[in-house]
Amino acid sequence: MKYGVVLIFSLILAVPSVINAEERQRQTSGNAQLDYAEAANWVRMAMAMGDADAQFNLGILYLRGDGEEVRQDYAEAARWFRLAADQGHAKAQYNLGLMYGKGDGVGQDFAEAARWFRMAADQGYLQSQYNLGVMYRNGQGVQMDQVESVKWFRAAADAGYTEAQYILGVMYGKGFGVVQDYKESMRWFRLAASKGHAQAQNYLGIIYGIGLGVSKNHIEASKWFRLAAEKGEAKAQYNLGMMYMQGQGVQQSPAMAKEWFKKACDNGNRDGCEEYRKTGGI
């Protein structure tokens, strides 16, 4: 059976996956739900008392710039984050690391980003542990070191960080920084998949479909492919289409195969487009 993702695990992680605007918005929106009318109070508190939480929240205000009282200003955000970060504020250290990695309000500097991520990571801040793992994996701001990368991914994964659990599955499957171990790979994939991680679910489908570290089980493979496919994971949509085309783990149905190939194609999967054309699709 042909799978959209052969089990040659490739770790597609670049700086944008570390310095991700959507991730940063998710983080910052949870960090400070502030009334912008109170911005002046935060300013007074931060300036008069040197309060790290107040300085951090001011950084968030300038980073987001949602209100009339505070206009978006990355340089000012970085300044307030730095004041809080210098006092050991982990969230401020993390956000300052993001700004150096992206080059928002400061000159882009991966080494400086890694330095701030490490400070927050040493305090147990999960996102920083994950990002530091990515930087060691890619050699950005630090010397590439797969073993060190695994160390930081594991720290975040052990604390329940889903993306780190998925990446550890990749690392064990490929043998990056660890001895290749398909059973351990599957264990981490399952942890991430159980929390709805679509890529991990797709990889579990591949593992069961091929039988790596487990007995081959097409029914179980199709189950995981479906869970990922229903979330819009294009590779899983293609893989599920192949299951329907060949009647493996599901009742054979060229019509269902065509439907899933079209979805995969619509989501940019070339193999899905090729199979869709073979079934008579445009």
Per-residue pLDDT tens over the stretch 110-162 = 999 999 999 999 999 999 999 999 999 999 999 999 999 999 999 999 999 99
Q: What is the CATH number of the domain that holds 206?
A: 1.25.40.10
Query: Is the pLDDT assigned to residue 5 strictly greater than 50?
Result: no
Query: Is the pLDDT assigned to residue 26 strictly greater than 60?
Result: no
Query: Does 206 fall in a domain?
Result: yes
Q: Is there a contact between 181 and 212 (Cβ–Cβ < 8 Å)?
A: no
- Residue 92, C-beta contacts closer than 8 angstroms, at least 6 positions apart: 52, 55, 56, 59, 80, 81, 82, 83, 84, 85
- Residue 22, C-beta contacts closer than 8 angstroms, at least 6 positions apart: none
Query: Does 272 fall in a domain?
Result: yes
Q: Is there a contact between 238 and 261 (Cβ–Cβ < 8 Å)?
A: yes
Query: Does 253 fall in a domain?
Result: yes
Query: Does 29 fall in a domain?
Result: no
How long is the chain?
282
Q: Is there a contact between 201 and 193 (Cβ–Cβ < 8 Å)?
A: yes
Domain of 208 in residue numbering reads as: 199-282
Query: Does 154 fall in a domain?
Result: no
Query: Does 217 fall in a domain?
Result: yes
Number of domains in the chain: 1
Query: Does 271 fall in a domain?
Result: yes
Query: Does 211 fall in a domain?
Result: yes
% of the chain exceeding 70 in pLDDT: 82
Dump pLDDT digits (tens) for 190-203.
999 999 999 999 99
